[in-house]
Amino acid sequence: MYKSEKQTIFYVLGLYLSSTLLLIATLFATYYFYKQDELMHAEREILKEYSSALEEKLLFVHENSDERYEYPRFENFKSAIYDIDKKLIFSTLDTKIDNLDKDFFFKGSNSYYISSLKPHYLGAAYSVVEKKRKPIDILNDLIITALIIITITIITSFFLVKLVLKPLRDNLRLLDNFIKETTHELNTPITTILANIETLDSKSCDEKSMRKLQRIKTASTTISNLYQDLVYLLLNHQISSQNEELNISEILNQRVHYFSQAANVKKLNLHVDIKEGVCFNADRQKIERLIDNILSNAIKYTNKSTTIKVVLTQHTFSVSDEGKGMSQDEIRTIFQRYRRFDKTQGGFGIGYSIIKSIIDEYCIKINIESELDKGTKVTLTW
Amino acid sequence: MVKIILLALISLTFLNASSFEENCLSCHGNDFKFNMMMKKYTQKYSSEKRIKEAIFDYLKEPTSEKSVLPYEYINRFGTKEKTTLDDKTLREMIDVYYDRFNLRSKIY
C-alpha cells in the first residue's frame, strides 16, 4: 500500500467516522436528555401524589382532633408544612428548605415537591414532600450501547473505504506497473546506445559526423540520467539503503568525467578542485544520484562558454555556475517544490525531489546562494 | 429590683389571664366553639399574625361577611356586639386566646 493511499484511507475514514460519531453523539445525547426529562417527570408525578396524600391527612387531622393534633407521618416519604408567612409549622425532614418558590427540585440525593394548600388545614399554606431520589443510571447502559455501535461503525466503515478505494487502487497499480515495466525496458536500449557510441568514438570520422555523434552522446547521457532518476524513484520506497564507507572523491571524479561530454558540447570550462580521500558512509546509488542531479542542474542552467566550479573539501561539496541565477523568491519556491514533490512522487522536477529526499536521509544541509544574471552556488555541508 | 420586675410580670400575666376569663370567657366559657373558632381562623388565615389581625378586625366590627362561622349559625343568632374594650386590651385578650387555643403548639 502506498503512503498516499494510506493517507487517503485515513482521511476518508476520519471524515466518515467523525461525522457518524457526531451524529451518534447527538442522537444519544438527545435520547439521554429526553429520558432524563421523562424520569424527572415521573419523579415529579410520584411526589405530587405524596403531596395530595399529605393534604388529605392534614384535612383529616384538622377536622377530627380537638386537644392535640398528630402530624401525619408516612413510610415512604418525609414532609413539612409552612404557614402563609413561610414560617415552619412542623417538619419531619432532616434538612431545612429555604426556598418555597420552586415547586420541584433536587437537593443532595433527595427530590422535593412543594405545593401550596388552601384551605390551610393546621395552618399549612405550603407543604414540602421529600423523597430519596431515584438514581438516573441510564448513562452506563447508553455508553455501552454507544461503544458497541461505534465499534460496528468503525469496522463497517473500514471495509467500506477499502471497497470504495479498490477500483482506484487497481488503476493506480496498473499505472505503476506500466511505468515500472517501461522503465526496465528502457535500460537495454540506453546501455546499447551508450556502449556503441563509446566504441564509435575512437574510430576516425569526419569532423561534422563527429560533432553530431557528440550531440547524440550528450542526449543519451541525459536520457540515461533521467532513467536513473526514474529507477531511483520507483525503487526508492522498496529498497532500504545499503550504507557503506564511500570514497566521495573517487565517485565525484567519475561523475564529473561522465558529464564532461555534455559540458564540452556547451563549451563549458569545468573547474574541478577535489580533495582526495574524502569518505562518507552512505548508499552508493543515492550519493551518485545526488551528485548527478546537482551537476546536471548546473550544466543545464548555466550559460554557454562559462565556468562551472566543482569543489569538494572534507565536509562540503559545492557546485557553482554562471547561469542566469535565481531570485530569493525562486529559491524559496524550489524548496516548496521539494515539499510538494515529497507527496506526489514523479513528474516534472523530480531532480529536486530526489536531492531533497537524499539530503534529508543523510542529514546533509543544503545552501543555495544565487544572484540574478551572475550565477548559482549550491553547497552541501555534512 | 429583679424580684419586683418578676413579680410585676407574673401579676401582669395573671391579670391578663384573669381579665381574659372576665372579658371573653364570661360568654365563651368552656365553649367548645371557642376551640372550633380558632380552627376556622387557622384554616382561613394560616399564620399567627394574620389570625390575630383578622380576629381583631372582626371583634372591632363584627359583620356576617367577615365571620368564619357557618352562615346558618350567624343567620340564626346574628353577629355579636362590637367590643367595648380598648385596642390595647383587646389585643392582649386576643394574644391570650391565641396562646391557649392555637393549633400550632398542639401538633406533635
The answer to whether the CB of A280 falls within 8 A of the CB of A246 is yes
**Cβ distance of A71 and B104 shorter than 8 Å:** no
Q: Select from A112, A132, A152 the last residue of a domain.
A: A132
The long-range contacts involving B78-81, CB below 8 angstroms and separated by at least 24 positions, are none
Do A98 and A246 belong together in one domain? no
Least Cα separation, residue A150 to chain B (angstroms) = 59
Domain encompassing residue B9: 2-106
Amino acid at A183: T
The answer to whether the CB of A80 falls within 8 A of the CB of A91 is yes
CA B59 to the chain's CA centroid? 9
Residue B103: list chain A partners with CB under 8 A. Answer: 62, 69, 122-123
Dihedral of CA atoms A75, A80, A81, A85 in degrees, nearest 10, equals: -170
User: Does residue A179 sit within a domain?
Assistant: no
Q: Which pLDDT band holds residue A340 (cuts at 50, 70, 90)?
A: very low
Strand order of the sheet with strand A269-274? A269-274, A307-312, A316-320, A375-381, A365-371
Q: How many helices (H) and strands (E) does chain B have?
A: 6, 0
Q: Select from A132, A158, A181 the last residue of a domain.
A: A132
- C-alpha–C-alpha distance, residues A377 and A317, integer Å: 10
**Cβ distance of A84 and B45 shorter than 8 Å:** yes
User: Does residue A101 sit within a domain?
Assistant: yes
Domain count, chain B: 1
* CB contacts < 8 A (A, B): 55
- Give the pairing type, strands A307-312 and A269-274: parallel
Mean pLDDT of A132-137: 76
Contacts of A133 (CB under 8 A, 6+ apart): A43, A106, A109, A110, A111
Average pLDDT of chain B to the nearest whole number? 84
Domain count, chain A: 2
Within A65-137, residue ranges assigned H as helices are none
Question: Is this prediction's pTM over 0.90?
Answer: no
The pLDDT tens digits for A43-91 are 999 999 999 999 999 999 999 988 899 999 999 999 999 999 999 999 9
User: Does residue A8 sit within a domain?
Assistant: yes
Is A348's pLDDT higher than 50?
no
Amino acid at B53: E
The pLDDT tens digits for A78-88 are 999 999 999 99
User: Does residue A183 sit within a domain?
Assistant: no
Domain encompassing residue A85: 3-132
Do A117 and A237 belong together in one domain? no
Q: Which residue of B has its CA nearest to A69?
A: B107
User: Does residue A152 sit within a domain?
Assistant: no
**The three three-digit cell numbers of residue A241, written as one number:** 539503503
User: Does residue A170 sit within a domain?
Assistant: no
Least Cα separation, residue A57 to chain B (angstroms) = 13
pLDDT for A30 equals 92
Q: Which residue has 407521618 as its cell numbers? A: A73
Do A280 and A375 belong together in one domain? yes
Domain of A375, CATH number, reads 3.30.565.10
Do A240 and A121 belong together in one domain? no
Do A127 and A44 belong together in one domain? yes
Q: Which pLDDT band holds residue B17 (cuts at 50, 70, 90)?
A: low
- Tell me whether residue A31 is exposed, middle or buried, using C-beta atoms within 10 angstroms of its C-beta: 0 to 12, 13 to 18, 19 or more: middle
CA distances for A92 relative to A54, A76, A87, A107, angstroms? 12, 12, 15, 16
pLDDT for B7 equals 47
**The three three-digit cell numbers of residue B68, written as one number:** 368564619
User: Does residue A262 sit within a domain?
Assistant: yes
A70 → closest Cβ in B43, B45, B108: B108
Mean pLDDT of A297-305: 84
pLDDT for A127 equals 94
The answer to whether the CB of A336 falls within 8 A of the CB of A315 is no
Q: Select from A132, A167, A189 the last residue of a domain.
A: A132
**The three three-digit cell numbers of residue A193, written as one number:** 546506445
Do A214 and A78 belong together in one domain? no
User: Does residue A184 sit within a domain?
Assistant: no
pLDDT for A349 equals 59
The pLDDT tens digits for A177-226 are 888 888 888 888 888 888 888 787 656 778 888 778 878 888 888 888 88
Strands of A189-232, DSSP E: none
Residue B35: list chain A partners with CB under 8 A. Answer: 66
The pLDDT tens digits for A231-275 are 777 776 566 778 889 899 999 998 898 888 788 888 888 889 999
**How many C-alpha atoms does B98 have within 13 Å on its Cβ side?**
21
Q: Could you give the ipTM of this predicted complex? A: 0.84
The pLDDT tens digits for B30-46 are 667 888 899 999 999 99
